[in-house]
Amino acid sequence: MIQLQHISHTFKIGKKGNEKGVPVLKDISFNINDGEIISIVGKSGSGKSTLLNVIAGFLKPETGSIHMNGKETTNFTEAEHAKFRMVNTGFIFQNFQLMPGLTAKENIELPLKIKGVPKQSRKQHVQEILQKVELEKVADHYPNELSGGQQQRVCIARALVTNPPIILADEPTGSLDSETEQEILQLIKQLNVQMGITFVIITHDEEVATIANRTFRMHDGVLKEVETVAI
Ligand SMILES: Nc1ncnc2c1ncn2[C@@H]1O[C@H](COP(=O)(O)OP(=O)(O)OP(=O)(O)O)[C@@H](O)[C@H]1O
């Protein structure tokens, strides 16, 4: 479970001595249950990425607390955050952020190398993931030899390969056409159902938000759950 309590954050902007505070997150409290897909929808500049960075531990909030998988992560050092992320969290980005000099297979293998997993076990694991995201045919292609949808599959596979219980996705279909967007959303749904992975998806696209079990709306740093009406 991910639990945020009374999270607030203000960025300081401007010259030293003449700084101004820009409040970006305002008293945000919510829980995400294991195995849920949560979407956070909001306009550009509403604070979505800042909130994701706080959950991921890239940004320490000014006030409030965060618990993830039973551990309070709020006051972790950078090294503790990095160690925690390695085991618990995978990331999917809008612009994929793949290594251009590595093939699809090598990009997927990279987190396992960093983790120190032995070669034989890495190869086996990468093969399984390639099948899961249907990329076997293009495993030896470099990122610039892949379509946008295939690149996003590589990005998803790279996030999955270390078996994290949580995946944080920042506009995962933002660079894709609508048909490919549907394909990637279906893949996310399938991975959620088959592997029980919790997904937190931030998006400005209402359509993307529809795959979520629960949707939250971010407006000017304030987060509210969208009431779903039973039909
Ligand atoms: N490091 C920073 N320093 C100062 N202000 C920042 C910083 N990062 C973000 N902001 C400001 O915080 C606000 C929220 O930004 P954030 O990136 O969280 O919004 P967003 O909803 O994710 O937008 P988008 O959909 O465009 O990515 C914006 O007004 C932005 O200018």
pLDDT at 230 over 60: no
Alpha carbons within 13 angstroms on the beta-carbon side of residue 136 total 7
Q: Do 34 and 196 contact (CB within 8 A), yes or no?
A: yes
**Nearest residue by C-alpha to atom 7 in ligand 1:** 11
If DSSP codes are grouped into helix, strand and coil, which group holds residue 221? coil
DSSP element (H, E) containing 168: strand 166-170
Q: Which amino acid is at 148?
A: G
Which structural domains are found in the chain, ordered by start?
Answer: 2-13+24-225 (3.40.50.300)
Render pLDDT for 72-123 as a digit per residue (tens, 0 to 9).
999 999 999 999 998 999 999 888 889 999 999 999 999 999 989 999 999 9
Render pLDDT for 120-155 as a digit per residue (tens, 0 to 9).
999 999 999 999 889 999 999 999 999 999 999 999
* Ligand 1 in reach of 12 Cβ (< 6 A): no
- Residue whose CB lies within 8 A of the most ligand 1 atoms, among 39, 48, 171, for a mutation test: 48
* Ligand 1 in reach of 58 Cβ (< 6 A): no
- Residue whose CB lies within 8 A of the most ligand 1 atoms, among 49, 51, 62, 223, for a mutation test: 49
